[in-house]
Amino acid sequence: MSPTLTVATAGRVLQQIRHDRRTLALLLIVPCVLLGLLAWIYQNTPVFDSIGAPLLALFPFLTMFLVTSIATLRERQSGTLERLLTMPMAKADLVAGYALAFGLLAAVQALIASGFALLVLGLDVAGAAWLLILVAVVDCLLGTALGLFLSAFARTEFQAVQFLPAFVLPQFLLCGLLIPRDQLPDVLRWISNVLPLSYAVDAMRTITTDPNGTASVLGDVAIVLGYVIALVALGAATLRRRTS
Amino acid sequence: MTAAGSTAEPAIAIADLRVVRLGRTVIPGLSLSIPRGQLVGLLGPSGCGKSTLLRSVVGVQEIAGGTVQVLGLPAGCEPLRHRVGYLIQAPSIYQDLTIAENLRYFAKVLGTPRRQLDGEVARVLEQVDLTDLAVASAAALSGGETARVSLAAALLGTPEVLVLDEPTVGLDPVLRRDLWAIFRRLAGQGVTLLVSSHVMDEAVRCDRLLLMRAGAMLADDTLQGVLASTGAPDAEQAFLTLVDRAAGTPAARPGGSDHRGRHEKPEPHQGVST
């Protein structure tokens, strides 16, 4: 693996996104619009303050997941992946390059979305603002990592898009937003314990309610980062140089 | 260039290669040896297994049996990926980058030093006659132009072996002639080129011909040799004669005559998305 190739690949991916202004705008603005809509729906109630932060974990996660899945699938289908795999490029360089590029994008997206929620929408949380931003960034990274990993199993765009309801929505149902995770039936609680989004949302709930929850939040962040690293490594491992 | 080094070893050595794709035997058992510095044409109809053979040589094809060695090393191994250039049949460039951005990225992947990137990109752009379009978006190119950018990327660096899958398909005759001149010059410098085409006319450009049909070699000889042994006036007639001969002998594979089209291309390629 070489840092030069990782950085060159990340630069190339960002260059592609930069040429695609509409995608860039959608990526950066859509989470803000959704949060704004949410705040508007629940105006004059305390609901936005209680679910605003968890949804701040969710919306950017979803968009990064989709963008990453499709981008890597396009690489596969356009023949550029096959070209790169015959060149002096380690599989890890390619996957890490994607993770770096989308990670940077994810960070910008999370900064904008959390800044918008805090400053414009007046989201009021018990914990520190920097913690909220940190968790939002890590959740975006999680979306990217999951997209990188799962896109290895999609042969067509149709399949890749179906992975959202198949692998992401169950995580949403079980992450504790609908009912607290400790009230889930046992089996579902066990499942939710191994799903990464659960920890992302746990962290956001702690930030929402607990002014002294920094240690607990950082613990959840560490778990989510662990998933990110594992998913990126699996993404590189499942990339096949030889195909039929 | 180290190609002139141990010339005793063949550039490409294939023994008993067997490839099965989607339950269908595409190459039933193929052996082949190509010495260094030759310009070899791999000719045959669409669907005969040319792309699969080339993919095996660059090490991206899953194989069911046999061995493929390139420059004395197993195909696709890490050191070879610095020494073998490959042109895939699909237009394998990034549609949302400019031509120059595409080539700069591929040059970086090949380890071209930063100071030499511009010169390297300019060199290959000139070879495929696209210098004027360097800053054009790849999405705005015609099919032929896209194919040329793709070829330019394969010419980056100093490959010792070039594996080109239909590099001249659909191109202007003048450009085709110029590209063959480049291939000829590279062969003169010791580069081994394995170039596929389904256009039999291109036989005259090659040192040696591999005539392929239904996953097997009908002939492996110079054009003169093929014409002499068949009594045919050109490569296309020679090919037909060889097919008829093969069909008349017990050695012909049963059912081997109906392999046409559809399975040739390993990956579907995607249209331009905006």
Band the pLDDT of B6: cuts 50, 70, 90.
low
Instruction: Say how far apart CA B194 and CA A149 lie, in whole Å.
Output: 35
Nearest CA in chain B to A3: B109
| B96 neighbourhood in chain A, CB within 8 Å | 16, 19-20
**pLDDT at residue A114 is higher than 50:** yes
Q: How many CB pairs under 8 A join A and B?
A: 100
Say if residues A61 and A143 touch (Cβ distance below 8 Å).
yes
The alpha carbon of residue B34 is apart from the nearest alpha carbon of chain A, in Å, by 20
**pLDDT at residue A210 is higher than 70:** yes
Q: Check if A86 contacts B (Cβ < 8 Å).
A: yes
Task: Please name the member of B20, B106, B269 whose beta carbon is closest to the beta carbon of A79.
Answer: B269
| A78 neighbourhood in chain B, CB within 8 Å | 90-95, 269-270
Phi, psi of A136 (to 5 degrees): -60, -40
Same domain, B73 and B189: yes
The alpha carbon of residue B59 is apart from the nearest alpha carbon of chain A, in Å, by 7
Domain limit, last residue, from B116, B132, B158? B158
| A88 neighbourhood in chain B, CB within 8 Å | 78, 81-82, 109-111
Interface contact B76-A86, CB threshold 8 A:
yes
Interface contact A15-B97, CB threshold 8 A:
yes
Say if residues A105 and A13 touch (Cβ distance below 8 Å).
no
**pLDDT at residue B274 is higher than 60:** no
| B143 neighbourhood in chain A, CB within 8 Å | none
Q: Check if B123 contacts A (Cβ < 8 Å).
A: no
Domain count for chain B: 2
- Return the C-alpha torsion angle B105, B109, B110, B114, nearest 10: 60
Task: Please name the member of B91, B105, B269 whose beta carbon is closest to the beta carbon of A12.
Answer: B105
Say if residues B93 and B104 touch (Cβ distance below 8 Å).
no
Say if residues A236 and A95 touch (Cβ distance below 8 Å).
yes
The SS3 call for residue B155 is: helix
Q: Check if A84 contacts B (Cβ < 8 Å).
A: yes
Same domain, B11 and B114: no
Instruction: Say how far apart CA B195 and CA B39 lie, in whole Å.
Output: 8
Interface contact B267-A12, CB threshold 8 A:
no
In a domain, B133, yes or no: yes
| A12 neighbourhood in chain B, CB within 8 Å | 94, 97, 101, 105
Interface contact B270-A15, CB threshold 8 A:
no
In a domain, B266, yes or no: no
Same domain, B173 and B120: no
Contacts of A110 (CB under 8 A, 6+ apart): A60, A133, A136, A137, A139, A140
In a domain, B257, yes or no: no
Domain containing residue B179: CATH number: 3.40.50.300
What is the ipTM score, two decimals? 0.88
In a domain, B268, yes or no: no
Per-residue pLDDT, averaged over B150-175, amounts to 91
Structural domain including B145 reads 91-158
In a domain, B43, yes or no: yes
Task: Please identify which residue in the block is written with the tokens 């992450």.
Answer: A175
Interface contact B81-A89, CB threshold 8 A:
yes
Instruction: Say how far apart CA B62 and CA A27 lie, in whole Å.
Output: 38
Per-residue pLDDT, averaged over A49-60, amounts to 89
Rg (CA), chain A: 18
pLDDT digits over B18-73, tens only? 999 988 999 999 999 999 999 999 999 888 999 999 999 999 999 999 999 999 99
**pLDDT at residue B153 is higher than 80:** yes
Q: Check if A88 contacts B (Cβ < 8 Å).
A: yes
End-to-end CA distance of chain A: 25
Domain limit, last residue, from B129, B158, B187? B158
Does this model's pTM top 0.90? My answer is no
Task: Please identify which residue in the block is written with the tokens 């004059």.
Answer: A44
The alpha carbon of residue A20 is apart from the nearest alpha carbon of chain B, in Å, by 7
Nearest CA in chain B to A9: B105
In a domain, B254, yes or no: no
Instruction: Say how far apart CA B92 and CA B106 lie, in whole Å.
Output: 11
Q: What is the pLDDT of residue B249?
A: 57
Q: Check if A79 contacts B (Cβ < 8 Å).
A: yes
The SS3 call for residue B159 is: coil
Nearest CA in chain B to A241: B60
Same domain, B190 and B238: yes
The alpha carbon of residue B3 is apart from the nearest alpha carbon of chain A, in Å, by 18
**pLDDT at residue B253 is higher than 50:** no
Same domain, B218 and B166: yes
In a domain, B14, yes or no: yes
Same domain, B98 and B205: no
Per-residue pLDDT, averaged over A233-243, amounts to 88
Mean pLDDT of chain A: 91
Same domain, B154 and B164: no
Instruction: Say how far apart CA B169 and CA B149 lie, in whole Å.
Output: 13
Same domain, B167 and B224: yes
Same domain, B172 and B224: yes
Q: Check if A189 contacts B (Cβ < 8 Å).
A: no
**pLDDT at residue A119 is higher than 50:** yes
Instruction: Say how far apart CA A206 and CA A223 lie, in whole Å.
Output: 15
Q: What is the pLDDT of residue B7?
A: 55
Q: What is the pLDDT of residue B130?
A: 93
Same domain, B77 and B210: yes
User: For B69-78, B191-200, B253-262, which range has the lowest pLDDT when averaged over its residues?
Assistant: B253-262
Q: What is the pLDDT of residue A76?
A: 87
Interface contact B109-A5, CB threshold 8 A:
yes
Band the pLDDT of B4: cuts 50, 70, 90.
very low
**pLDDT at residue B17 is higher than 90:** yes
Same domain, B134 and B172: no
Per-residue pLDDT, averaged over B120-132, amounts to 93
Interface contact B62-A244, CB threshold 8 A:
yes
Phi, psi of B199 (to 5 degrees): -100, 110
Same domain, B245 and B167: yes
Contacts of A180 (CB under 8 A, 6+ apart): none
Q: Check if A212 contacts B (Cβ < 8 Å).
A: no
Domain limit, last residue, from B102, B132, B158? B158
Q: Check if A4 contacts B (Cβ < 8 Å).
A: yes
Point out which residues pair with B17 in neighbouring strands: B30
Higher-confidence position of B184 and B269: B184
The SS3 call for residue B260 is: coil
In a domain, B203, yes or no: yes
Taking the CA atoms of B228, B233, B236 and B241 in sequence, report the sign of the dihedral they define: negative
Interface contact A87-B101, CB threshold 8 A:
no
Task: Please name the member of A15, A82, A88 whose beta carbon is closest to the beta carbon of B88.
Answer: A82
Instruction: Say how far apart CA B49 and CA B34 lie, in whole Å.
Output: 18
| A85 neighbourhood in chain B, CB within 8 Å | 60
Instruction: Say how far apart CA A142 and CA B200 lie, in whole Å.
Output: 53
Band the pLDDT of B116: cuts 50, 70, 90.
very high
Q: Check if B143 contacts A (Cβ < 8 Å).
A: no
